A and B are shown apart, each in its own frame.
Chain A
Amino acid sequence: QSALTQEASLSGTVGQKVTLSCIGDSTNIGSYDVGWYQQISHGAPKAVMLGTSLPSGIPDRFSGSKSGTTASLTISGLQPEDEAVYFCSAWDYSLRAQLFGGGTKLTVL
């Protein structure tokens, strides 16, 4: 199955705003909500954005958006604890598969 496309790495300083992107096509991101998952030090992934909804316990500096076949996760006011790998995911109705991006390693300088 094809994967969604994410930046391999991004970095930002404490307090900065950073935006991660996830590129798909009409059969996945263009048709369904996108999930974003944070993975710290190879622990279990944790949802930080489901569509444009913030899961319980996730700080409101995280926000999600989508335009056509590209989804974005924005972290406003970057914190040291945000350093992690972030994965995006969307269902694909043509493949009948849950697609994942390759992950973006976010470094907080």
Chain B
Amino acid sequence: EVQLVESGGRVAQPGGSLRLSCAASGFMFRSYEMNWVRQAPGKGLEWLSWISSPGDDMTYADSVRGRFAISRDNSKESLFLQMNALRPDDSAVYYCVRRSGATPDHWGQGTLVIVSS
């Protein structure tokens, strides 16, 4: 069974940093591209970042480019999101999402980030 378990969400100060992690199991992690997607309270889904299966190519949404960095460790079957220069509008549930072909297929349960002083 495919499992994606996010962690690292907490309350952070504006201007601060957080690192989110996603532990993958139940599939060959190194063979799949991965995404981070977030959802602010009462809002829709916002894609943030994509990373290739070997981890040598990535892309970002305009809203986070230059502040967030996606990475992965295939040996540890883990995906990461380094979040810097946090703003209150970064408050959201952050999802780790597997991509199959060109389509997201499996989602984690999410981890909550609150940016507030």
Contacts and interface: CB of A to CB of B under 8 A. Distances in A.
Interface string A36-75: 0100000011110011000100000000000000000000
A44 B105 CA distance: 12
B11 interface: no
Interface residues of A, number: 26
Interface of A: 1, 3, 32-35, 37, 44-47, 50-51, 55, 87, 89-91, 96-103
A33 B101 contact: yes
Given A99-B47, A100-B44, A45 B107 contact: yes
Contacts of B35: 98
A14 to B, nearest CB: 27
Given A99-B47, A100-B45, A103-B44, A89 B59 contact: no
B19 to A, nearest CB: 21
Listed residue (A1, A33, A45) with the most chain B CB atoms within 10 angstroms of its CB? A45
Given A32-B102, A50-B100, A97-B61, A44 B107 contact: yes
A42 to B, nearest CB: 8
